[in-house]
Structure 1
């Protein structure tokens, strides 16, 4: 008998803005697609950067029902599959401009931190991996992503300001774990937009020491990554080659191994 593994759910999170979180999320999703995995990308950021970075600007301005409705109204969740948009590399549940007003809605809602889980449970389509791109702040949406995924991958800049940002994120994870009696697994740190500076060299050494029990991947600053984003795809679909493709594939292969994303003969 062939047994397929459960869907892997991964939150890409760092509440510090400007770390290239969305670019990392898109390219990890693209790498997983290159490894022939069926990927759903959920843009949970009200700014819609991933929606734009996947060439879906019109979806961000779409009329209801949208992801906002699916998160706030149980009736809208009944037809959640209709909100999913096909992309050449992955399926996408896009963000929407209405999401900018969702935080107070979730604060007042019953089980407001569990709405994303309810949305995913309502899906009829099956996926190997669900990538959740979090907002660049802590709040109900990020809590939803962390609790739903149970796994977090953290992009961070190789600069000293990352230390405090990571401390705040892990403090919040500890609060969620205590309140919900759960465990949120740290999958690794993606040191992103690395440039050749003494500060970057020092921070990379700090990452390796501080996170000795999980992988630390290094993504160098490359203009091709931004060009691919502007073209609405990952570097794996972009017309220009990028040496960072190998690093994103290494991340995807590690996730594939750790989640058992292969057919298992029982």
Structure 2
């Protein structure tokens, strides 16, 4: 089972969109996926059309008083794709502050996923937090979506500093995904070249273009694969190929 965090400490870069589309694409090649929505905004649930909040969520899974089983907390949202939502984000953080160790916290919480899923994909909040720290300890790979604007590019130093402070190898950053690329603007083109000067081709993926259809699909609770099969999807498929090669 390969464990992936979709993380950036800057909001608005399309983390949840990448997480949802990556999960949906992987399940379409007959892989079993657990998508864990640990962004405080719960956008994965919205983007996949989950209209009713499940009775049990991630909080129930880690509740030290009455812990629920993983099977009681997941929602089968698509064939081969299960969703683990969250609520009571502040209480999750509070419980983590009680934990003796955070470096193996999620190994214990998600131990029952190990023999069931091929991939666990975690959508993170855009922040430094104790929950994000636990996630970054847990995962095998970190995928960083970024907008092609100078503030996002300069923010990469904060991500690397965060990992160094946690004494987590920065080699966990496996892919950087330029997202919402508008090739018509010189700023986007220049910033893409800047990224290419920072990251080699083994880390930097092809940019994913800004498309109105993707936004429309998310509002409808669908992925672009479901909403508009005429939209060119090569960029997402290219990302999936890169992820599969990670292991």
Instruction: Say whether the fold is shared (TM-score over 0.5).
Output: yes
Do the aligned partners of 1:81 and 1:125 also contact (CA within 8 Å) in 2? no
Q: Which of 39, 53, 67 does residue 76 from structure 1 map onto?
A: 67
Answer yes or no: is the 8 Å Cα contact 1:72–1:115 preserved in 2.
no
Larger relative contact order, structure 1 or 2 (CA cutoff 8 Å, min sep 6): 1
- Write the distance in 2 (CA, Å) between the matches of 1:200 and 1:149: 30
Other-structure match for 1:185: 172
**Which among 38, 56, 78 is matched to residue 50 of structure 2?**
56
What's the RMSD between the two structures over aligned residues? Answer: 2.0
Contact 1:53–1:232 (CA<8 Å) still a contact in 2? Answer: yes
Alpha-carbon distance in 2 for matches of 1:45, 1:190? 19
| Counterpart check, 1:226 vs 2:215 | yes
Unaligned ranges ≥5, structure 2: none
Please give the alpha-carbon distance, in whole angstroms, between the structure 2 residues aligned to 1:36 and 1:235. 18
* Worse-superposed segment, 146-155 or 121-130: 121-130
Count residues with an aligned counterpart: 244
**C-alpha displacement at 1:200, in angstroms?**
0.7
* Residues 193-202 or 211-220, more deviating: 211-220
Aligned equivalents of 2:104, 2:65: Cα separation in 1: 12
Q: Does 1:30 align with 2:24?
A: yes
The answer as to whether partners of 2:213 and 2:228 remain within 8 angstroms in 1 is no
SS in 2 for 1:170: helix
Counterpart selection for 2:2 from 2, 8, 13: 8
Matched with 2:94 is 104
| Cα-to-partner distance string for 1:10-68 (whole Å, 9 max, x where unaligned) | 10000101111100111111111222211110001122111111112422xx45x4211
Residues 53, 229 of structure 1: 8 Å contact kept: yes
Deviation, 1:105, is 2.9
Give the structure-1-normalised TM-score.
Answer: 0.84
- 123 and 150 in structure 1: CA distance in 2 versus 1, 3 angstrom threshold: closer
Confirm or deny that 1:154 pairs with 2:148. Answer: no
Q: Is the 8 A contact 2:34 2:119 kept in 1?
A: yes
What is aligned with 1:128? 118
Structure 1: runs of 5+ lacking an equivalent: 1-6, 260-266
Q: In 2, distance between residues paired with 1:72 and 1:168?
A: 31
Cα shift at 1:164: 2.7
**Which residue of the partner structure matches residue 257 of structure 1?**
245
Return closer, same or farther for 1:211/1:124 CA change in 2, 3 Å cut-off.
closer
Query: Separation in 2 of the partners of 1:127 and 1:177?
Result: 28
Farther-moved stretch of structure 1 (86-95 vs 102-111): 102-111
Aligned mates of 2:128, 2:179 — CA distance in 1: 20
Q: Distance in 1 between matches of 2:57 and 2:26?
A: 26
Moved over 4 A (4+): none
Q: 1:207 to 1:25 in 2, by over 3 A?
A: same
- What is aligned with 1:194? 181
For 1:176 and 1:217, how far apart are their aligned partners in 2? 29
TM norm structure 2? 0.90
